């Protein structure tokens, strides 16, 4: 038998759930909040209804706890314009003059609009997509139902891991986490982080603030890794890769054994996978690929590219910058 405290908590969460259709008129959806009055009144609901609500909460909890986003650190560093889960790709696309959230199968079939939001920082967890639209944090089911704004705080980027949404608040540029189930917000530290330069990996948050730092996901154990400002940082095989001063470096997780891998003028929008490093030359145009050791450079497109995302065997990127427009490129 659940304790009275847990019982009340579960009822409060069930009240918070709302189901709304996703359409262009739903842009102003706001977070659902249970009042004390609602919690009190619902104590008289039937036992059968309560059991059903418990099952629904347990199902939602199962979908978000112990799960990380299917999107990569490097994709989220590049605005998170696409993500892949199973046989489906979820992405922002521009049709006519509007940006919307779409999905399609990995074989390019069955393209379907999910909703009219201009979605960035896309994280897919089970049946839900988490994303930013107009700097607001939203959640929607992969079938386009149950769209909900999860917070009234403005965010620059989100990373969803183990039931929490980690984000940077636009107003103070500090890092926070939002509990998906309870909707509780917690400030992780008082450092002013550089815009969008953070990610979560193995119970640690890495961020740049006049150097590269890490802090535990509960806000404890802060330590400095490097004095360098690190652009597009990610971790591959327990090594930190990043861009600084038109050079790509790698180093150990404690900042030791720093090594230059590659150097070129006007390097930008770096995306690092387990096999390759992709980047763009923002002066002369072109998307390039090198091995993780900096060898075998190959030009794979002549486009000026921004926001490079690697999705399975596809490269998805913005080739227009302002206003954004997107292109798919099949990788060999």
Residue 268 lies in a domain: yes
Residue 133 lies in a domain: no
Structure confidence at residue 9 (pLDDT)? 40
Residue 192 lies in a domain: no
CA distances from 190 to 200, 209, 219 (A): 17, 11, 10
DSSP annotation string for 209-270: SSSEEEEETTS---EEEESS--EEEEEETTEEEEEETTEEEEEETTS-S-EEEEE-TTEEEE
Structure confidence at residue 67 (pLDDT)? 53
* Model confidence pTM above 0.85: no
Number of other residues whose CB lies within 10 A of the CB of residue 274? 8
Structure confidence at residue 69 (pLDDT)? 64
Which CATH number goes with the domain that contains 305? 2.40.128.630
**Which letter, b or e, does each residue of 297-328 get, where b requires 16 or more Cβ atoms within 10 Å of its Cβ?**
eeeebebbbbbbbbbeebbbbbbeeeebebee
Structure confidence at residue 332 (pLDDT)? 78
Tens of pLDDT, residue by residue, the chain (332 residues): 434 333 344 334 443 333 333 344 444 433 333 333 232 333 333 344 433 443 444 444 444 444 556 799 999 999 999 999 999 999 999 987 899 999 999 998 999 999 999 999 999 999 999 999 999 999 999 999 999 999 999 999 999 999 999 999 999 999 999 999 999 999 999 999 998 899 999 999 999 999 999 999 999 999 999 998 899 999 999 999 999 999 999 999 999 999 999 999 899 999 999 999 999 998 889 999 999 999 999 999 999 999 999 999 999 999 998 899 999 999 97
Structure confidence at residue 321 (pLDDT)? 86
Residue 258 lies in a domain: yes
Structure confidence at residue 315 (pLDDT)? 96
Structure confidence at residue 322 (pLDDT)? 87
User: Which tokens go with 233?
Assistant: 């940082």
Give residue 258's domain range. Answer: 230-332
Q: Hey, CA dihedral for 232, 233, 234, 240, is it positive or negative?
A: positive
Residue 7 lies in a domain: yes
Residue 125 lies in a domain: no
Residue 309 lies in a domain: yes
Structure confidence at residue 141 (pLDDT)? 97
* The domain boundary residue, chosen from 65, 83, 105: 65
The domain total for the chain is 2
Residue 259 lies in a domain: yes
Which of 162, 165, 166 has the alpha carbon at shortest distance from 189? 166
């Amino acid at each position: 038998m659940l304790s009275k405290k847990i019982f009340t908590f579960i009822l409060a969460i069930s009240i918070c759930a709302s189901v709304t259709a996703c359409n262009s008129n739903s842009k102003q959806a706001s977070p659902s909040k249970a009042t004390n009055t609602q919690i009190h009144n619902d104590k008289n609901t039937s036992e059968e209804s309560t059991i059903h609500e418990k099952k629904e909460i347990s199902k939602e909890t199962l979908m978000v706890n112990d799960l990380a986003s299917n999107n990569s650190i490097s994709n989220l560093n590049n605005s998170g314009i696409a993500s892949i889960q199973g046989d489906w790709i979820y992405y922002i696309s521009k049709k006519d003059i509007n940006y919307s959230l779409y999905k399609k199968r990995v074989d390019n079939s069955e393209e379907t609009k999910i909703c009219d939001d201009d979605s960035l920082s896309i994280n897919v967890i089970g049946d839900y997509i988490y994303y930013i639209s107009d700097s607001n944090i939203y959640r929607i089911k992969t079938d386009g139902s149950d769209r909900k704004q999860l917070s009234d705080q403005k965010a620059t980027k989100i990373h969803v891991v183990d039931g929490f949404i980690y984000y940077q608040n636009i107003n103070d540029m500090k890092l926070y986490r939002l509990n998906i189930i309870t909707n509780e917000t917690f400030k992780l530290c008082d450092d002013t982080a550089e815009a969008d330069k953070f990610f979560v990996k193995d119970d640690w948050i890495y961020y740049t603030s006049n150097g590269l730092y890490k802090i535990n996901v509960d806000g404890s154990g802060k330590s400095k890794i490097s004095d360098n400002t690190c652009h597009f940082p990610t971790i591959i095989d327990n090594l930190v890769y990043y861009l600084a001063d038109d050079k790509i470096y790698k180093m150990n997780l404690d900042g030791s054994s720093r090594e230059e891998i590659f150097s070129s003028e006007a390097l930008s929008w770096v995306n690092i996978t387990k096999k390759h490093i992709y980047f763009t030359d923002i002066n002369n145009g072109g998307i390039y690929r090198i091995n993780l050791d900096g060898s075998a450079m190959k030009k794979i497109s002549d486009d000026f590219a921004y926001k490079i995302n690697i999705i399975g065997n596809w490269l998805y990127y913005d080739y227009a910058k302002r206003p954004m427009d997107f292109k798919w490129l099949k990788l060999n």
